[in-house]
Structure 1
Amino acid sequence: MEWLLPEQLSLLASTLLILAAAATSAITASIGVGGGILLLAIMAIVMPPAAVIPVHGMVQLGSNLNRVIMTLHHVDWRLLAAFAPGAVIGAWLASLFLVQLPTSTLQLTIAGFIIFLCWGPKIPPMGLGRAGTFVAASITTFISMFAGATGPLVAAFVKQQHEGDRFRTVANFAACMSLQHLPKAAVFGAAGFVFKDWLGLMLLMILSGALGTWAGLHLLRRISNRHFTIIFNWLLTLLAIQLIWQALG
Structure 2
Amino acid sequence: MQASALIVIAAFLTSIVSGVFGMAGGIIFMGVLTWLLPAALALALHGVIQFASNLWRFLIHRRHVVWSVLIWFGLGSVASLGFFSLVLFAPTKFLVFLGLGLTPILVWLPERWLRLDASNRWHAIGGGFVSNGLSLVSGVSGPVTDLLFVNTTLNRHQVVATKAVMQAMGHASKILVYGGLLLGAAAREAIALPATLIAVAASMAGIMVGGYILHRISDAQFRSSRRWIVTIVGAAFLFQAIRIALA
Specify the TM-score bucket, using the shorter chain as the normaliser: 0.7 to 0.9
User: What aligned pairs does 1:14-25 form with structure 2 within 5 A after superposition?
Assistant: 14-25=4-15
Q: Report the equivalent of 2:211.
A: 217
Deviation at 1:202? 2.9
User: Please, which of 124, 130, 147 is the counterpart of residue 157 of structure 1?
Assistant: 147
Shift of the 58–31 alpha-carbon distance from structure 1 to 2, 3 Å rule, reads same
Residues 88-110 of structure 1: per-residue CA shift (max 9 Å, x gap): 11122112121447838756763
Greater shift in the superposed pair: 156-165 or 218-227: 156-165
Deviation at 1:138? 0.7
Deviation at 1:231? 0.6
Asked if 1:135 corresponds to 2:123, the answer is no
Q: Is the contact made by 2:62 and 2:161 (CA closer than 8 Å) also made in structure 1?
A: yes
Name the amino acid aligned to 2:121: R
Q: Is the contact made by 1:128 and 1:161 (CA closer than 8 Å) also made in structure 2?
A: no
Greater shift in the superposed pair: 130-139 or 105-114: 105-114
Greater shift in the superposed pair: 145-154 or 205-214: 145-154
Deviation at 1:140? 1.7
Q: Is the contact made by 2:115 and 2:151 (CA closer than 8 Å) also made in structure 1?
A: no
Among the aligned pairs, what percent are the same residue? 24
Consecutive unaligned residues in structure 1, runs of 5 or more: 1-9
3-state SS in 2 of match to 1:232: helix
User: Please, which of 175, 182, 185 is the counterpart of residue 194 of structure 1?
Assistant: 182
Name the amino acid aligned to 1:145: L
Deviation at 1:173? 1.4
Q: Is the contact made by 1:26 and 1:215 (CA closer than 8 Å) also made in structure 2?
A: yes
Residues 105-139 of structure 1: per-residue CA shift (max 9 Å, x gap): 756763443321xx432744677511111111111
State the alpha-carbon separation in 1 of the partners of residues 118 and 4 from structure 2.
Answer: 42
Deviation at 1:149? 3.0
Q: Is the contact made by 1:158 and 1:173 (CA closer than 8 Å) also made in structure 2?
A: no
Name the amino acid aligned to 1:27: V
Name the amino acid aligned to 2:23: V
State the alpha-carbon separation in 1 of the partners of residues 132 and 116 from structure 2.
Answer: 22
Q: Is the contact made by 1:63 and 1:209 (CA closer than 8 Å) also made in structure 2?
A: yes
User: Please, which of 226, 230, 233 is the counterpart of residue 227 of structure 2?
Assistant: 233
Residues 53-78 of structure 1: per-residue CA shift (max 9 Å, x gap): 11101111110111000000110001
Greater shift in the superposed pair: 69-78 or 87-96: 87-96
State the alpha-carbon separation in 1 of the partners of residues 169 and 10 from structure 2.
Answer: 23
Greater shift in the superposed pair: 57-66 or 126-135: 126-135
Shift of the 127–61 alpha-carbon distance from structure 1 to 2, 3 Å rule, reads closer
User: Please, which of 52, 75, 89 is the counterpart of residue 85 of structure 1?
Assistant: 75
3-state SS in 2 of match to 1:159: coil
State the alpha-carbon separation in 2 of the partners of residues 243 and 16 from structure 1.
Answer: 18
> Would you say how many aligned residue pairs link Structure 1 and Structure 2?
234
State the alpha-carbon separation in 2 of the partners of residues 112 and 121 from structure 1.
Answer: 15
State the alpha-carbon separation in 2 of the partners of residues 125 and 45 from structure 1.
Answer: 34
3-state SS in 1 of match to 2:217: coil
Q: Is the contact made by 1:158 and 1:172 (CA closer than 8 Å) also made in structure 2?
A: no
Q: Is the contact made by 1:71 and 1:171 (CA closer than 8 Å) also made in structure 2?
A: yes
- State the superposition RMSD in angstroms: 2.7
3-state SS in 2 of match to 1:160: coil
Deviation at 1:144? 1.7
Shift of the 93–29 alpha-carbon distance from structure 1 to 2, 3 Å rule, reads same
